[in-house]
Structure 1
């Protein structure tokens, strides 16, 4: 097995993967930045946490590391404070029992306030206040170009600024509609929330932490449910900020004592200049962003903008003095709350110690969050003149974008995981989409990406079904596959599998290159399909089985099968019933019942056919007994005596239908044949595939077959509907043509009020105003007259 190399964001040279050398051999300590829980999880979160889960699974179940995986839950920060506080204030407002006039006045004030704060161009259109009544006109005048897909400046491609503008426009549009319909509460909440917050935020009790924890506990539960649905492994350890506040205060105090932080008006800031003067490096991950004021302000949060006393513009808060309406805890510097970055340093250090193998998170966290984490942690642990390496390997997951803009809650340009799983994806399909991309690169949602993922998944699914069908056929025998051997000595596929195993190992060792793995599996399946398609060659059944079990192991490691667990030594996708403990007799019972039902139906037809009579005379129970005592790998093999016989019965019915002289008898036989295939066998999860080698009995989940059946019925219904529409249109055209043919040429122009005089043939000579019809117009009229005379004469002759 090749040595593992990974893309480490701390190593800049060429950005090539570097060897992964753990602190302790065979083990890996890992801290992942978890979610800030205040809203639904979206596909951007899925991209982050599913990609992280895939790497974790590879390290656990492919490379064999013992991974200690720690993830935090941010349950107090500016976004959570605002969301929880505003929600509480809105509930209080709803209970005040205000009159309709008072509510309308409040809504109008909130509407104008929101417009001034977020959409300044609206105010430049007109000097009068922005109201729900005049909003639409002013919106189109001020921001029409953005709504049309252009940029605010009119140059370049739309990005985050345009996405944010569209979000604010959408909020105001919805609010205007709700206010005009007197549906303020519920319809205009997005504009009411910030306005109520500006009026009453000081009234919220800072000591009543339940105001915030009620919100975060709910959304944490929702997040975990989403992760379970995506088959993401639960963390080994979960830490929450609110449980670590005393430890955070102690951690901050030590940084102050070491001279790398200072207190100012009840807040504590990290001193970047002092840190660097001591020989340490700041912004190791993103040195180019070190002086990016916009990113620095974003990292401090919207509620931290008014905090003052910083020595340097880039200094960041370790501890924030709580303002009115914000949760607070006691500290040596007064009532306050943790800064955003410090939480991860304290919680990771508490669980994993002074150094960890891996720290991961979304690429958008690299600066300032992760750079600040590194600085404050290394300040805590370092000795003057000697840097401390707190994280050995930083892994940054690429973000998911839509229409060129990062998918995010703040921009509201996201699709929730729950909605995506209801309408567009299965958990497996979503994983395959992410596996097709490089984990540390951005992914743009596209139809092509989804189509490629679906095609790959279908090919793997069909491969599993085919291989299992051939193995079962070889185990149980049957009229079509008597030559198959489960212990074939052929080894034509051995070298193909070995090459694939080497390719997968090389790809996973090269910083978890899952796209290359999927391509290798695709090539393996293609080779297997070519081998199967040669009808005269002996099938290498053991080789096919080894291939399928290898693919099963890899897709299991990738988390593509929620019904399996390590060591993933089965064959194919597992189902919830895979591990059901049923005896062979119990398993075969429904197949035998279907056989007896079909036998009864055929016997009732009274057919005189020697081949059919022999098949109907078979004692299925005695046929089953010798098989049940054999060395069978798959339960499905027990059903083969029934299914082989049913397949032969169906084939005999079709032969009889072809030779039948009676049309009614032929239709009756074909109908029963179709019922056997489409109804009886579908209900058993069995599909008959006519291959060059014979009829192959495939075991396919009943739900898939029913879905295919419904899709086929829908296609037929659509064709019939299209056919009927076409027929009706042809009938209409025919009727219209016939009605037109009945019109005498002498009368055809007399109903047209453009003309006032006609000759004896009905050809107009003068216009309504008395002017003569021009020669060119008359020429055209006579041509139409001749054409109508021809069809009129034909109609007269035809109708008698």
Structure 2
């Protein structure tokens, strides 16, 4: 096999060869990489140890859970209406001052509405992150204004109350009561896992949580201090970048251009880390933080405190995977400072005698999810939950297809166009699987002794075999090239198009074996990509794996509905009194002889149903052949449609009639889809009939109006109009109501209209004998 190459953030540019620390095995720190993980495991054959770190006490979690707790306590208090209004006004002012100080210049304290200011600064089009954040703050203030006016402050103005209450009461939180924070994170962890299951994302091999690692973290930090790469200041411990580099170690290897970015440094330290003084260098980052009021704390050699954000992942990943890790991954926004700081502190911990230590070999950074050009983010409140997306816009498979259609390291723009593209790809694949299984089943059923492989070429050449070979080579090239899934998806799409061309050109001599090989290979690839939640390695079979809806039924119970339809069909044919040698033979055929051996080997509903469906389909095909010369032609055709459009449709089976006396193809399609298609067709027919009726009524109306107009005599047509005061012998106006002569230009037009009316009126009289 050619060399697998991956994009490695430690070596920017083209993909680099992937060489694991231990051949055939990969140690991996988890983050949103399910598709790549499956490809490495099921396509390239690596054995992977996958670790997911859960940070359950970082600054954002502490702030969010603490504020929510304080809000709940506040709601339990008794307020007068004026006291509550005062609280809301103070919270509004504090929120505006803290987030949009310019806003306060545009209105006085008596007017809380920021609406005019909002309209001035919010522009149309795609916003950047800064403008999105500004919109979020303004929307929060607008919502709070309306809530205050409607006297529903709790529930409507929570977004401005949360930070204000936190500033007043955070000191009341018990720092040793960690359950305030961990109860919430455990709930969201369970919710997260539920979402991952819904998207068919494999669970990690190991899950680590910060709150169970605090003693180990303190020990880890202490060793870094002892090596001279960290220092204590006022109860906090900071990583000493200058000392680390002086010892010959590189810092900010992932994003060297960002190492002096103050905004990113502050974001990496966390919103609760402000006013922690004593840092020697501007870029030095906290390994251990002195806990302030309202923050959880643990004992340490430096006093009561809590772990820094970056150190958590280093300690947990190292504990499970050791001093060397093959792959570390996460979102691109974590590259600096989070992952750069992880690298530095871990390498400082493990390095000996000044020798550089390589902690991670490959960093794989995922691109952002974007909506309307702005990064999807909870802090920007422009995100959509997975549960909401699955309820409204996507199926689990559809969402995975969207990810597959984009390069993992380049980001994804969630848009209607992307959704349409994903739906089109899935629809094409569904259609292919249905046709493939139909053709293979039809070929297998031509005779009891005939084998599909004996039908392999059948005079149609080896073009499908060549197409598959080319697709396999293209797929390998795509996946070797840093898991280029868009190219891989195009490869599958092209192979399906190649088959469609072959099918059209070889209606009666199709390469069935070639089709089967293609179908099995595509089934394997979509299984590897995680597009079938019911499939598992080695991803055999053809098409999407069936659900377990029939798992509790015996084979006899599975085929009972199909056997019942066959029984009714045979009874109806006997009542039609239509005979032929072929038809009589089919009516005497007993599918039970095929079912019995099958039932001992398979529980697949489609496989078990085929003997009955073939019998039904062949009876129907034979009837349609006999219909043109039969005295029961009308009844036969009605009965034929009933079998296809009612009896079998309700069982999730469609008989696709083909030209040139070819037998109908048996297609298994979910009954819900068939019924939806039937209703859509009926709706179009109703719409067509309604449009036809409208045209008829419009035509009748026009004809009625024309007839009514023709009844009016040309001699009287102008007599009732108040615009005129005198007329000639033909009834054409000669003077206006003011007594003036009708202008020649107007008289010409009046005469022309009079001539037209005279003609239609005389035709009407002649037609009606008047």
TM-score of the aligned structures, taking structure 1 as reference length: 0.86
Alignment map for 1:158-177 (pairs within 5 Å): 158-177=127-146
User: Residue 282 of structure 1 aligns to a residue in which SS?
Assistant: coil
Alignment map for 1:88-167 (pairs within 5 Å): 88-126=69-107, 128-129=108-109, 131-132=111-112, 134-140=113-119, 142-143=120-121, 145-146=122-123, 148-149=124-125, 158-167=127-136
User: Residue 69 of structure 1 aligns to a residue in which SS?
Assistant: strand
Q: Is the 8 A contact 1:475 1:632 kept in 2?
A: no
Alignment map for 1:784-799 (pairs within 5 Å): 786=754, 793=761, 797=765
- Over 3 Å counting, the alpha-carbon distance change for 1:335 and 1:790 in structure 2 is farther
In the TM superposition, what is the alpha-carbon distance from 1:113 to its structure 2 partner?
2.8
- What are the Cα deviations for residues 577-635 of structure 1, in whole angstroms up to 9, with x where unaligned? 4994866544433211111123334445x445547962674243565468759999976
2:149 corresponds to which of 169, 180, 186:
180
Which residue matches 2:455?
Answer: 488
Q: Does 1:682 align with 2:649?
A: yes
Q: Is the 8 A contact 1:763 1:781 kept in 2?
A: no
Distance 1:280 1:429 in 2: 45
Q: Does 1:507 align with 2:475?
A: no
Q: Does 1:532 align with 2:512?
A: no
User: Residue 392 of structure 1 aligns to a residue in which SS?
Assistant: strand
Which residue matches 1:326?
Answer: 295
- Over 3 Å counting, the alpha-carbon distance change for 1:629 and 1:307 in structure 2 is closer
Q: Does 1:397 align with 2:366?
A: yes
Alignment map for 1:375-390 (pairs within 5 Å): 375-390=344-359
- What are the Cα deviations for residues 175-215 of structure 1, in whole angstroms up to 9, with x where unaligned? 22222222222222222222222222222222221211121
- Over 3 Å counting, the alpha-carbon distance change for 1:676 and 1:274 in structure 2 is same
Q: Is the 8 A contact 2:75 2:154 kept in 1?
A: yes
Which residue matches 2:320?
Answer: 351
In the TM superposition, what is the alpha-carbon distance from 1:465 to its structure 2 partner?
2.0
Q: Is the 8 A contact 1:748 1:762 kept in 2?
A: no
- Over 3 Å counting, the alpha-carbon distance change for 1:637 and 1:373 in structure 2 is closer
Which residue matches 2:246?
Answer: 277
Distance 2:710 2:419 in 1: 55
In the TM superposition, what is the alpha-carbon distance from 1:694 to its structure 2 partner?
3.1
- What are the Cα deviations for residues 527-582 of structure 1, in whole angstroms up to 9, with x where unaligned? 33333333366433332222211111111111111111111122211012499486
- Residues paired across the two proteins, number: 756
TM-score of the aligned structures, taking structure 2 as reference length: 0.89
In the TM superposition, what is the alpha-carbon distance from 1:332 to its structure 2 partner?
1.6
Alignment map for 1:445-484 (pairs within 5 Å): 445-477=414-446
Which residue matches 2:53?
Answer: 72
Over aligned residues, Cα RMSD in angstroms? 3.4
- What are the Cα deviations for residues 234-293 of structure 1, in whole angstroms up to 9, with x where unaligned? 000001111111111111111111111122222211111111111111110000111111
User: More deviation in 634-643 or 513-522?
Assistant: 634-643
Q: Is the 8 A contact 1:741 1:788 kept in 2?
A: no
- Over 3 Å counting, the alpha-carbon distance change for 1:371 and 1:779 in structure 2 is farther
User: More deviation in 182-191 or 368-377?
Assistant: 182-191
Which residue matches 1:39?
Answer: none
Which residue matches 2:26?
Answer: 28
1:691 corresponds to which of 640, 652, 658:
658
Q: Is the 8 A contact 2:550 2:558 kept in 1?
A: no
In the TM superposition, what is the alpha-carbon distance from 1:359 to its structure 2 partner?
0.3
Distance 2:740 2:72 in 1: 81
Distance 1:209 1:739 in 2: 89
User: More deviation in 397-406 or 700-709?
Assistant: 700-709
User: Residue 323 of structure 1 aligns to a residue in which SS?
Assistant: coil
Which residue matches 1:369?
Answer: 338
Distance 1:506 1:306 in 2: 53
In the TM superposition, what is the alpha-carbon distance from 1:91 to its structure 2 partner?
1.3
Q: Does 1:645 align with 2:615?
A: yes
Distance 2:693 2:140 in 1: 45
User: More deviation in 395-404 or 532-541?
Assistant: 532-541
In the TM superposition, what is the alpha-carbon distance from 1:697 to its structure 2 partner?
1.2
Higher relative contact order (CA 8 A, sep 6+): 1
Alignment map for 1:365-764 (pairs within 5 Å): 365-477=334-446, 485-488=452-455, 490=457, 492=462, 493-535=464-506, 538-577=509-548, 580=551, 585-604=556-575, 606-610=576-580, 614=584, 617-621=587-591, 624=594, 628=598, 636-651=606-621, 654=624, 666=634, 669-692=636-659, 693-720=662-689, 745-746=717-718, 750=722, 758-760=725-727
Which residue matches 1:154?
Answer: none
- What are the Cα deviations for residues 405-437 of structure 1, in whole angstroms up to 9, with x where unaligned? 111111111221111111211111111111111
In the TM superposition, what is the alpha-carbon distance from 1:498 to its structure 2 partner?
2.5
Q: Is the 8 A contact 2:583 2:619 kept in 1?
A: no
User: Residue 341 of structure 1 aligns to a residue in which SS?
Assistant: helix
Distance 1:355 1:773 in 2: 108
In the TM superposition, what is the alpha-carbon distance from 1:360 to its structure 2 partner?
0.4
In the TM superposition, what is the alpha-carbon distance from 1:221 to its structure 2 partner?
0.9
- Over 3 Å counting, the alpha-carbon distance change for 1:748 and 1:569 in structure 2 is farther
User: Residue 694 of structure 1 aligns to a residue in which SS?
Assistant: coil
Q: Is the 8 A contact 1:271 1:312 kept in 2?
A: yes
Distance 1:106 1:773 in 2: 82
In the TM superposition, what is the alpha-carbon distance from 1:371 to its structure 2 partner?
0.6
Gapped regions of structure 1 (runs ≥ 5): 34-48, 150-156
User: Residue 283 of structure 1 aligns to a residue in which SS?
Assistant: coil
Distance 2:468 2:595 in 1: 36
User: More deviation in 169-178 or 732-741?
Assistant: 732-741
Distance 1:189 1:368 in 2: 32
Q: Is the 8 A contact 1:115 1:130 kept in 2?
A: no
User: Residue 393 of structure 1 aligns to a residue in which SS?
Assistant: strand
Q: Is the 8 A contact 1:654 1:670 kept in 2?
A: yes
In the TM superposition, what is the alpha-carbon distance from 1:354 to its structure 2 partner?
1.0
In the TM superposition, what is the alpha-carbon distance from 1:69 to its structure 2 partner?
0.2
User: Residue 435 of structure 2 aligns to a residue in which SS?
Assistant: helix
- Over 3 Å counting, the alpha-carbon distance change for 1:425 and 1:726 in structure 2 is farther
In the TM superposition, what is the alpha-carbon distance from 1:94 to its structure 2 partner?
1.5
Which residue matches 1:37?
Answer: none
Q: Is the 8 A contact 1:689 1:695 kept in 2?
A: yes
